[in-house]
């Protein structure tokens, strides 16, 4: 994949506390966020720093090759497992991971479990990696998530989030990296294809639907 090749040859510089990875299905977002989480020592199946490799799942080939050139606080976390803080919300296994951490018992809905995890886990500075958190969340819950992200940033946290959400990516000050056949490039929110599509769709759904519906 072009984004993986670029990561291996050029690396990726995180210049803001929050970075969103945006791109079409299959562009490589999950591959990148899983490798970052693994490289940092988070369970690749999802979960928090307390759950390293609880699943006995080995690192991926890409995860093995990730090296962080971190700021001083991050370096301390990389060198000392006990100091390491963070959370990986992996799209495919989020419910499983949240259940294991006590956030998704039978009594709460999918989205409520996610919100409980954000409220209960987004507390300490560390690396927080998320893969399409919006999949489970309503509009207002997505806004709540942005509030939790903002609080985490103010405490010194770093967030990397794969997403298709025009709502989440609008967070002021966040970096947006678009992933595609070109590899990875930084783009402004207004230049995102997904933002343009949503704007046009909401203004007039027919402009899209007439191409799809017989």
Ligand X SMILES: Nc1ncnc2c1ncn2[C@@H]1O[C@H](COP(=O)(O)OP(=O)(O)OP(=O)(O)O)[C@@H](O)[C@H]1O
Binding site for Mg ion (CB under 5 A): 29-30
Smaller CB distance to ligand X: residue 58 or 102?
58
For residue 23, the partner it binds in ligand X, Mg ion, none, with Cβ less than 5 to 8 A by kind, is ligand X
169 is an interface residue for ligand X by CB under 6 A: no
- Spatial CA neighbour of 95 closest among 108, 84, 86, 82: 108
Answer for the pair 162, 154: CB distance below 8 angstroms, yes or no. Answer: no
**3-class DSSP state of 158:** strand
Backbone angles phi, psi at 188, to 5 degrees: -80, 150
Backbone φ and ψ of 103, nearest 5°: -105, -10
When CB distances are held under 5 to 8 angstroms depending on the partner's kind, the choice from ligand X, Mg ion, none that residue 157 binds is none
User: What part of residues 28-67 is at the interface with ligand X (CB under 6 A)?
Assistant: 28-31
**In angstroms, rounded to a whole number, what is the distance separating the alpha carbons of residues 89 and 129?**
6
If the CB atoms of residues 78 and 161 are measured against ligand X, the closer one turns out to be 161
Taking the complex as a whole, the smallest distance from the CB of residue 210 to ligand X amounts, in Å, to 26
Return the number of other C-beta atoms located less than 10 Å from residue 95's C-beta. Answer: 15
Site string for ligand X, 6-35 (x = CB under 6 A): -----------------x-xxxxxxx----
CB of 143 to ligand X, least distance (A): 22
């Amino acid at each position: 994949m072009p984004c993986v090749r670029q990561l291996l040859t050029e690396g990726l510089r995180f210049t803001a506390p929050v970075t969103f990875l945006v791109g079409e299905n299959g562009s490589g977002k999950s591959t990148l966020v899983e490798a970052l989480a693994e490289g940092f020592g988070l369970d690749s199946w999802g979960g928090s720093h307390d759950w390293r490799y609880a699943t006995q799942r080995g690192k991926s080939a890409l995860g093995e090759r990730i090296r962080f050139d971190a700021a001083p606080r991050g370096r301390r976390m990389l060198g000392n497992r006990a100091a390491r803080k963070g959370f990986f919300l992996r799209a495919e296994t989020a419910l499983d991971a949240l259940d294991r951490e006590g956030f998704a018992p039978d009594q709460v809905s999918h989205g409520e479990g996610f919100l409980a995890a954000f409220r209960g886990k987004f507390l300490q500075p560390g690396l927080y990696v998320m893969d399409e958190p919006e999949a489970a969340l309503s509009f207002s819950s997505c806004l709540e998530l942005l509030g939790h992200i903002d609080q985490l940033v103010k405490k010194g946290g770093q967030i990397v989030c794969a997403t298709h959400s025009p709502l989440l990516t609008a967070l002021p000050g966040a970096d947006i990296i678009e992933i595609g056949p070109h590899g990875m490039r930084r783009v402004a929110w207004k230049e995102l294809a997904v933002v343009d599509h949503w704007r046009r769709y909401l203004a007039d759904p027919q402009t899209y639907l007439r191409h799809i519906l017989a």
